[in-house]
Amino acid sequence: MRNSALASALLVTVMAAPAMANQDVIKNTADPKQWTLQTGDYANTRYTKLDQINRDNVKTLKVAWTFSTGVLRGHEGSPLVVGSTMYVHTPFPNNVFALDLDNEAKIIWKYEPKQDPSVIPVMCCDTVNRGVAYAEGKIFLHQADTAVVALDAKTGKEIWKTVNGDPKKGQTGTSTVLPVKDKIIVGISGAEFGVQCHITAYDINTGKQVWRAYSVGPDDQILFDPEKTMSLGKPVGKDSSLKTWTGEQWKIGGGSTWGWYSYDPALNLFYYGSGNPSTWNPAQRAGADGKQIDQKWTMTIFARNPDTGVAAWAYQMTPFDEWDYDGINEMPLAEIDVGGKKRNVLVHFDRNGLGYTLDRATGELLVAQKYDPKVNWTTGVDMDPKSPKYGRPAVVPAASTFQNGQDVNTKGVCPAALGSKDQQPSAFSPQTGLFYVPTNHVCMDYEPFKVSYTAGQPYVGATLSMYPAPGSHGGMGNFIAWDAGQGKIVWSKPEPFSVWSGALATAGGVVFYGTLEGYLKAVDAKDGKDLFKFKTPSGIIGNVMSYEHKGKQYIAILSGVGGWAGIGLAAGLQNPTDGLGAVGGYAGLKQYTSLGGTLTVFSLP
Amino acid sequence: MRFGTGFLSAAIVTAAFFFQASAQAADPAPAVAPAAEKTVSPDGKWSLKDGTPIYNIQADGTMDWFTYSGFRRYHSECHVCHGPEAQGSTYAPALVDSLKTLDYAKFVGVVASGQQNVRFQNNSIMPALGDNKNVMCYLDDIYVYIKAMSDGAIPRGRPGSRVDKTAAQGKNENDCLGG
């Protein structure tokens, strides 16, 4: 059993740290009837052991009940179920509802935070929120204005409240939090506003700040040990971040941390990624010699100790970003076959279009392959440990917005800034050993130009045009199954729009995901065959979850179009007459769906 | 030019300044300006008789530098809310429609000072961008670009041919942005 192994490993960490491991989270996430973290479990697998709904009967799925959130903005994340209570969150103003599943989903309590609405326009790409977390009788909410609130799960009363950042400086909150041991791990958004972003631990009982680790800056701010923090098998050395920046640009260096966090209790490490190095005009970030400079540790996978925040290892995927390929996507943990050997790995589908597999204890790079064949900015990652370019992607000069220069339009770069995948989390099925990945199939033209930095104002400096990947099926998305041991696509289903919904894999051999037109879809985990679809009231950018109540398995999904998808796709990303390819009469998403937050819950009849 | 880049670099731009300015602009611009009513300044900037900036699209579709510059700056500063090509998003209005009724002076006022709760009953916020140089140094550029889109004078998509930026325009830009 995995759990007993975890428990014995935890005993070791208890001796090292005063804090007890968070047994409550481990116990709750092991119970498939509940869904107490946004990510399903610490490993971020988004897999449910429930198997009542299976590949044979899923076609008879029916709507059991629905619930309107009353909010029109983009709905990311999913509800939680703890015992017989469901917790539903909304985008700004970040209301939280507790619903009584024993009593026809009657509202037990509603929490309505008071926030200054001036935070709204500071939030790049809609006022989304990726959901609440549960541990030890508390619901944790991370608000748009960066307030982190612990609510009594029974009553909805505030237990503590703390502030993680300042929206007036462009710092905002969109991500969920991770309860680990006696702490809550909280990230921050704002790379496009030149924020020096960070990840912070707060005491789970009081909200008092315990440590804060920046993505960029001096060693004592990024919590790197020059001797012990490793990257690609070597200690990072002194000033590993500082020496990769020109002057004091790191102070507005970005590296946002708004993605999903996973945790390995046996190693006592948690994992997350950092975003772009603020301005999208790479010329303004060049080294003193006018050449590319890494801007560490943006675009990086971090493994940190939750007790101290100190990094065990870090791996920068996209040094000197030229395309806004944030590294914040989820970090699922799994045991899979790599090169004929069972390995405990971390898998990451990056915005840059590469699917990475790393040894999660050491950060050793095992696999880095394109998970969309259209990815063209790189020829691949140097996998030779003896090479001076080990671990680096080889940039194709024609796709380099830096080499082409300021005021030059670099055309046909795949993927677009949205990435081959954005935050929409993948799922992993231990039954098939495969990852199920919602993806974007979008390319771009990118023209960088000079911008000026003002605190609290956007610091972008590029014009982008996005369009469906040319020379493909004409759609803007795929839903794929991925073998992370081999770095290969096993099957791929074309979708007319980007798949912006988190997937769910089930023990019934079914994989669920939502689409921007509003369909909840069920496909066979083996081959991707369509098994079921239902059109919910609005486009789906939320994540599918499952729970069991009174012996019945339910599937639940938030619909409510918006988010970054709601910006471009609502308007139609491209002009049907501009000759960009075989897309023809492609029409905007607004012809398929409209706004509105609704929870739809399904079960067998 | 009332809102020339030289002025912006010489003064701290405040919302109050733009509100004074809006009182001066008595007549809203006609929807499409016949070519004869436009004048061009030595630095290549087109305007209507009353001084309202306007795009200039040649018969073969070649656009003036400022309209092109507006395309670029719009898609850096505005599109994350107002959508690509000013077509709107799920949470902010399509400015190609707004400019059918909103005149230049009001446009300048809203951009500089912001406004609240116009589109939706609650939580619809246009921020005040009066101290954002990346917007204010290019406010006329952004206006003429959206206006050209709104009037149907240019097609959707990335602009084709354009008049190149002159050295003087480049200098004005750098003076305004600073650094």
* Structure confidence at residue A27 as a pLDDT band (50, 70, 90): very high
* Average pLDDT estimate for A459-476: 88
Separation in Å, CA of A74 to nearest CA in chain B: 8
Indicate yes or no: CB of A451 within 8 angstroms of CB of B116: no
- Distance CA(A554)–CA(A551), nearest Å, equals 10
Higher-pLDDT residue of A412 and B31 is: A412
Q: Which of B69, B90, B174 to mutate to test the interface with A (most CBs of A within 10 A)?
A: B90
Tokens of A40: 């399903």
Q: Which one of A41, A307, A321, A324 is the catalytic residue? A: A324
Q: What's the pLDDT at B167?
A: 85
Indicate yes or no: CB of B127 within 8 angstroms of CB of A450: no
Taking a C-beta distance cutoff of 8 angstroms, is the pair B53, B40 a contact? no
- CA-nearest of A112, A131, A68, A125 to A560 is A68
Q: What's the pLDDT at A529?
A: 98
Q: What single string gives the DSSP state of each residue in A319-330?
A: SS-SS-----S-
Q: What's the pLDDT at B125?
A: 85
**Which DSSP state fits A264?**
E
Indicate yes or no: CB of A460 within 8 angstroms of CB of B83: no
* Structure confidence at residue A509 as a pLDDT band (50, 70, 90): very high
- Distance CA(A562)–CA(A570), nearest Å, equals 8
- CA-nearest of A533, A375, A531 to A440 is A375
**pLDDT tens sequence across A363-384:** 999 999 999 999 999 999 999 9
- Which secondary structure element, helix H or strand E, spans residue A463, and what is its range? strand A462-468
SS3 content of chain A, % helix, strand, coil (to 5): 10, 35, 50
* Average pLDDT estimate for A292-314: 98
* Average pLDDT estimate for A533-552: 97
Cβ contacts (< 8 Å) between A459 and chain B: which residues?
134
* Structure confidence at residue A539 as a pLDDT band (50, 70, 90): very high
Q: Which of A122, A567, A590 to mutate to test the interface with B (most CBs of B within 10 A)?
A: A567
Here the CATH number for the domain that contains residue A507 is: 2.140.10.10
Tokens of A229: 């923090």
Cβ contacts (< 8 Å) between B124 and chain A: which residues?
120
Q: Which of A452, A497, A575 to mutate to test the interface with B (most CBs of B within 10 A)?
A: A452
Cβ contacts (< 8 Å) between B76 and chain A: which residues?
280, 449, 451, 458, 460-463
Return the minimum-mean-pLDDT range out of A26-30, A392-396, A486-490, B24-28: B24-28
Separation in Å, CA of A413 to nearest CA in chain B: 15
Higher-pLDDT residue of A8 and A452 is: A452
Give me the total of CB pairs closer than 8 Å, taking one residue from chain A and one from chain B: 127
For the whole model, what pTM was predicted?
A: 0.89
Separation in Å, CA of B179 to nearest CA in chain A: 8
- Distance CA(A325)–CA(A150), nearest Å, equals 33
Amino acid at A422: D
**Which DSSP state fits A263?**
E
Q: What's the pLDDT at A353?
A: 98
A466 to chain B: closest CA residue:
B84
Q: What's the pLDDT at A192?
A: 85
**pLDDT tens sequence across A115-142:** 988 888 888 668 899 999 999 999 999 9
A124 to chain B: closest CA residue:
B80
Q: Is A384 a catalytic residue?
A: no
Q: Which of B78, B82, B89 to mutate to test the interface with A (most CBs of A within 10 A)?
A: B89
The answer to whether A466 faces chain B, any CB pair under 8 Å, is: yes
Return the minimum-mean-pLDDT range out of A413-422, A509-518, A554-563, B124-133: B124-133
**Which residues constitute the domain of residue A525?**
2-603
Indicate yes or no: CB of B76 within 8 angstroms of CB of A463: yes
The answer to whether B90 faces chain A, any CB pair under 8 Å, is: yes
The answer to whether B128 faces chain A, any CB pair under 8 Å, is: no
* Structure confidence at residue A317 as a pLDDT band (50, 70, 90): very high
Taking a C-beta distance cutoff of 8 angstroms, is the pair B131, B13 a contact? yes
Q: What's the pLDDT at A583?
A: 35
Going residue by residue through chain B (179 aa), what tens digit of pLDDT does each one get?
A: 333 333 333 333 333 333 333 333 334 444 454 555 899 998 889 999 999 999 999 999 999 999 999 999 998 889 888 888 898 887 888 999 999 999 999 999 999 999 886 666 566 788 899 989 999 999 999 999 999 999 999 988 888 899 988 888 888 888 888 75
H helix intervals, A341-417: 401-404
Amino acid at A216: V
Residue B179 has its nearest CB partner, among A452, A457, A466, at A452
Q: What's the pLDDT at A578?
A: 41
Q: What's the pLDDT at A7?
A: 46
* Structure confidence at residue A65 as a pLDDT band (50, 70, 90): very high
Indicate yes or no: CB of A463 within 8 angstroms of CB of B75: yes
* Structure confidence at residue A42 as a pLDDT band (50, 70, 90): very high
Q: What domain count does chain A have? A: 1
End-to-end distance of chain A based on CA atoms, in angstroms? 34
Q: What's the pLDDT at A569?
A: 58
β A230-231/A393-395 pair status: unpaired
Tokens of A505: 């894999």
3 state DSSP class of B73: helix
Q: What's the pLDDT at A568?
A: 60
Higher-pLDDT residue of A210 and A580 is: A210
- How large a percentage of chain A has pLDDT more than 90? 83
Residue B77 has its nearest CB partner, among A125, A127, A460, at A460
Q: What's the pLDDT at A184?
A: 97
**Which DSSP state fits A138?**
E
B164 to chain A: closest CA residue:
A407
Separation in Å, CA of A122 to nearest CA in chain B: 8
* Structure confidence at residue A1 as a pLDDT band (50, 70, 90): very low
Residue A451 has pLDDT above 60, yes or no: yes
- Distance CA(A10)–CA(A29), nearest Å, equals 16
Taking a C-beta distance cutoff of 8 angstroms, is the pair A176, A38 a contact? yes
* Structure confidence at residue A11 as a pLDDT band (50, 70, 90): very low
- Distance CA(A398)–CA(A486), nearest Å, equals 28
C-alpha dihedral sign at B129, B134, B140, B144: negative
Residue A152 has pLDDT above 90, yes or no: yes
Indicate yes or no: CB of A127 within 8 angstroms of CB of B123: yes
Cβ contacts (< 8 Å) between B94 and chain A: which residues?
571
Separation in Å, CA of B31 to nearest CA in chain A: 23
Distance from chain centroid for Cα A503? 12
Q: What single string gives the DSSP state of each residue in A268-297?
A: TEEEEE----S-S-GGGG--TTSS----TT
Indicate yes or no: CB of B84 within 8 angstroms of CB of A573: yes
Q: What's the pLDDT at A250?
A: 97
Taking a C-beta distance cutoff of 8 angstroms, is the pair A454, A531 a contact? no
B89 to chain A: closest CA residue:
A567
Q: What single string gives the DSSP state of each residue in A158-215?
A: EEEEEE---GGGT-B--S--EEETTEEEE--B-GGGT-B-EEEEEETTT--EEEEEES
The answer to whether B156 faces chain A, any CB pair under 8 Å, is: yes
